[in-house]
Amino acid sequence: MEYLVVHFPRSRRVKVDDEFNGRTDELIELEAGSHLVTLGPPDNFSPDERRIILKDTSELEPREIDFELDE
């Protein structure tokens, strides 16, 4: 399995491949490969979504991505 951490200034649910799959700043365990990542509502973040390819991560060295809070 692969590991992802999504950073955002606020606690928010994370959507992976259109399904809720965890929360920001937590380790999310996923299958290797291509994934589309976004956040749950409200819609005050950017970018709208990030496409990533998860590979060669570990629980101690997860892939980390950021979303910014729109002011």
Contact footprint for other proteins (CB under 8 A)? 1, 3, 5, 16-23, 25-36, 53-55, 58-60, 62
In the complex with other proteins, which residue's Cβ is closer, 61 or 70? 61
CA proximity to 3, closest of 37, 39, 38, 31: 31
In the complex with other proteins, which residue's Cβ is closer, 60 or 70? 60
In the complex with other proteins, which residue's Cβ is closer, 58 or 70? 58
Smallest distance from other proteins to CB 68, Å: 19
Tell me the CA distances in angstroms from 36 to 2, 4, 26, 60, 71, one per residue in order: 14, 12, 17, 22, 24
Smallest distance from other proteins to CB 21, Å: 4
